[in-house]
Structure 1
Amino acid sequence: MNHQPHYILLPASPAFIALSLIVAFLLNLLPWGQWIGVPDFVALLLVFWSMHQPRKVGIGVAFFMGIMMDVHDAAVLGENALAYTLLSYFAIMIHRRVLWFPNGTQALHVFLLLLGTQLVQLIVRLFVGGNFPGWLYFAESAVAALLWPVVTWILLAPQRRAINRDDTRPL
């Protein structure tokens, strides 16, 4: 039985959501593409916000972020947009069930979603004549899944604070 406290969360600020996606995009811009296992931060945050705030971050935001990543990566226009759109769709589709699980089980679901995203990107690259990057290409999904509990803790922290803090009430 899970004895962790369940917080009543405040609504997520649209400005905070936008700032987190901008920071994720900037992290993806850093020149560490040759390192093995560096996760796709935009995909990770799209999964997070699609699960936690599906009415604020959905398929349209995922498509826009995908186009931005396509331009940055000089990839086939629409490669990341297609992958992120499918990622957001499936994250929204399963968000009600997944959020009931503990973080470890959520991370397993996130791993499968991100692995599917990488498979879509790889299929598009191979279809247009790219080379197979090797099996270590999929390590970034595993690293992102390992980061899931940390990302969840960081991004939910601003929503956990009470509006009117009072020491006499338990909530």
Structure 2
Amino acid sequence: MMMVKAGLIPLLISYVIALVFTVMPMPALLEPWRPDWVSLVLIYWLMAIPHRVGVGTVLIVGLLTDILLGSTFGVYASALLLISYPVLRHYQRIRHYALVQQALVVAILIFFKRVIVYEIEHVLNDAVFSVPYLYPVVSSALIWPWVFLALRRYRRHNHIH
């Protein structure tokens, strides 16, 4: 029987929860403000345990997001890969920032992710830009401190190193 690496199941559960939150029904008024759950969870794990979560994980979760959202295959995966590099490159610095500073970094990363996805969709599918497309940048930054604290507690509780 194959041994499962310690902490793998809790990591997978966090990705599944992020994917569920991504498609979970919301009131029409709040829908444009839906935080970018997948990005938030990946950014946290990339900062917390970069030796366990890397570009392979980001690619797989990104492709699952593409499938789940019915987007052009590889769009979200590409955008997530592009924003994961600065996190992996500077995780030691970012993890020591105050939560407000981290929220600003998260907002910038998610802004770039949204721009990348829009540009690819515009070229491939003639997507049209509207300002509400950027609302998740604000909502994700506002919710980051709670996501960070919840995932940190989850990581410690499940002894994920």
Q: Is structure 2 residue 76 aligned with structure 1 residue 80?
A: yes
Q: Is structure 2 residue 74 aligned with structure 1 residue 117?
A: no
C-alpha contact (below 8 Å) 1:14/1:56 kept by paired residues: no
Q: TM-score, normalised by structure 1?
A: 0.81
Q: Partners of 1:75 and 1:160 in 2: how far apart?
A: 35
Q: Partners of 2:148 and 2:35 in 1: how far apart?
A: 15
Q: Which letter does structure 1 place at the counterpart of 2:90?
A: I
Q: Partners of 2:90 and 2:128 in 1: how far apart?
A: 30
Cα deviation for residue 160 of structure 1 reads: 4.7
Gaps of at least 5 residues in structure 2 are 1-5
For these two proteins, the number of residue pairs brought into alignment is 151
Identify which of 5, 15, 19 aligns with 1:21.
15
C-alpha contact (below 8 Å) 2:103/2:141 kept by paired residues: yes
> What's the RMSD between the two structures over aligned residues?
1.9
Cα deviation for residue 130 of structure 1 reads: 2.5
Per mean C-alpha deviation after superposition, the further-off stretch among 28-37 and 46-55 is: 28-37
Give the fraction of aligned pairs with identical amino acids, expressed as a percent.
25
Compare CA radii of gyration and give the structure with the larger one: 1
Other-structure match for 1:102: 98
Q: TM-score, normalised by structure 2?
A: 0.86
C-alpha contact (below 8 Å) 1:60/1:85 kept by paired residues: no
Relative to its length, the structure with more helix (as a share) is 2
C-alpha contact (below 8 Å) 1:58/1:89 kept by paired residues: no
Which 4+ runs in 1 deviate beyond 4 A?
A: none
Q: 1:41 to 1:100 in 2, by over 3 A?
A: same
